[in-house]
């Protein structure tokens, strides 16, 4: 659709301008492309920001001052209509790494003084030719793990520099038939409905119906990556289900797809209790939110790859744990 192509061009041009600007010039670089009152949803410690100046001062300026110049290395890029609002709004999604040399402190975290890769995923809602809303998820724990700073509980999956799609075709700069994206969204929605009905992550019948046997799950820092049914069970879903008591799911903010890629984000997505000591936490009755991004690639009628961002620092903060302060010391 031409509307999607226009939206993609807007986001790519905006990102080029932001990437070229130094910390002091980011706000000016954003102004031609973002609504002046843009709603920006970030992870802990950034949270929600309103307006271009707030986004630039809270997120972009400190990051660029710490690691700039930054090189954007996207692995997935697509656009589509949002199923959650009846396919009435247009969104653009990009996922990859921001690469820089981490030479100065960032959000009170000591620098590694080495090359660093910050995982990111951005959802942008386009309205009247501007970016009106953004969700920006970054994986701070994965960044810290690159310099040897891991949670004391360790990770149940593997700590890796998260790869892009195995098919190397995730950058959908060209147009694709609308029907393909809608089919992707439906597959994801069916999988989510099944998960919510069961309130667990990996019963054998669910995995067999919705996932290829060689599926890959690229989780956030603090959890790590896993592959194949048994590895996924050991590396993520087993510890997740054993450590957390499900409370409720919250409706996603956006869910969309194009070609065989799609995904969603929630702010939050899930409410749980850490009754089983998830990630080394003591058992607790505290009700805590999880802000989550899931991106997918499907192969035929099943899902093959899944990239996940979870705002674990926010989840930990609701439990009274400042995980960034614990891990932020110089390695």
Q: Are 118 and 97 in contact (CB under 8 A)?
A: yes
Angle at alpha carbon of residue 22, lines to 21 and 25, rounded to 5°: 70
Q: Are 240 and 219 in contact (CB under 8 A)?
A: no
Would you say the C-alpha torsion 24, 28, 33, 39 has a positive or negative sign?
positive
- The pLDDT value given to residue 106: 97
- The pLDDT value given to residue 200: 55
Q: What is the dihedral of CA 109, 114, 119, 125, to 10 degrees?
A: 80
Reported residue count of the chain is 331
- Residues of the chain where predicted confidence (pLDDT) is lower than 50: none
161/157 Cα distance (integer angstroms): 13
Q: Are 34 and 17 in contact (CB under 8 A)?
A: no
Beta bridge partners of 225: 158, 218
pTM: 0.96
- The pLDDT value given to residue 1: 77
| CB crowding 284-320: b at 16 or more within 10 Å, else e | beeebbbbbbbbbbbeeebbbbbbbbbbbbbbbbebe
Tokens of 246: 């499900």
225-275 confidence digits (pLDDT tens)? 999 999 999 989 888 888 888 888 889 999 999 999 999 999 999 999 998
Q: Give the count of beta carbons closer than 10 Å to the beta carbon of residue 22.
A: 12
Tokens of 160: 């890796």
Domains annotated for the chain, with CATH where assigned, are 2-145 (3.10.450.50), 178-327 (3.10.450.50)
- The pLDDT value given to residue 205: 84
- The pLDDT value given to residue 199: 58
Nearest to 71 by CA among 145, 12, 16, 134: 16
- Residue that the structure tokens 């930990």 belong to: 316
Q: Are 145 and 154 in contact (CB under 8 A)?
A: no
Would you say the C-alpha torsion 225, 231, 233, 239 has a positive or negative sign?
negative
104/110 Cα distance (integer angstroms): 7
- The pLDDT value given to residue 47: 98
317/45 Cα distance (integer angstroms): 10
């Amino acid at each position: 659709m031409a509307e999607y192509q226009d939206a993609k061009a807007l986001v790519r041009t905006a990102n080029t301008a932001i990437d070229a600007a130094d910390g002091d010039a980011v706000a000016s670089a954003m102004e031609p492309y973002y609504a002046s009152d843009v709603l920006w949803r970030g992870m802990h410690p950034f949270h929600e920001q309103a307006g271009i100046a707030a986004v630039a001062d809270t997120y972009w300026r400190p990051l660029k001052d710490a690691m700039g110049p930054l090189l954007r290395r996207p692995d997935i890029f697509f656009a589509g209509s949002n199923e959650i609002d009846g396919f009435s709004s247009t969104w653009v999604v990009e996922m990859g790494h921001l690469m820089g040399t981490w030479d100065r402190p960032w959000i009170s975290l000591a620098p590694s003084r080495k090359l660093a890769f910050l995982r990111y995923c951005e959802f942008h809602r386009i309205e009247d030719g501007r970016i009106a809303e953004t969700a920006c998820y970054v994986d701070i724990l994965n960044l810290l793990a690159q310099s040897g700073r891991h949670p004391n509980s360790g990770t149940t999956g593997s700590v890796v520099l998260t790869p892009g799609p195995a098919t190397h075709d995730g950058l959908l700069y060209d147009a694709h038939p609308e029907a393909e994206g809608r089919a992707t969204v439906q597959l994801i929605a069916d999988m989510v409905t099944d998960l919510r009905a069961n309130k667990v992550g990996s019963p054998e019948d669910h995995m067999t119906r919705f996932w290829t046997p060689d599926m890959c799950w690229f989780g956030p820092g603090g959890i790590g990556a896993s592959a194949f049914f048994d590895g996924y069970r050991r590396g993520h879903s087993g510890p997740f289900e054993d450590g957390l008591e499900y409370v409720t799911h919250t409706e996603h903010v956006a869910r969309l797809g194009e070609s065989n890629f799609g995904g969603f984000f929630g702010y939050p997505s899930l409410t749980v209790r850490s009754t089983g000591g998830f990630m080394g936490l003591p058992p607790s009755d505290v009700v805590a939110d999880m802000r989550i991004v899931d991106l997918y690639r499907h192969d035929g009628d099943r899902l093959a790859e899944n990239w996940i961002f979870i705002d674990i620092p926010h989840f930990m903060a609701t439990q009274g744990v400042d995980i960034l302060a614990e891990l932020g010391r110089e390695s």
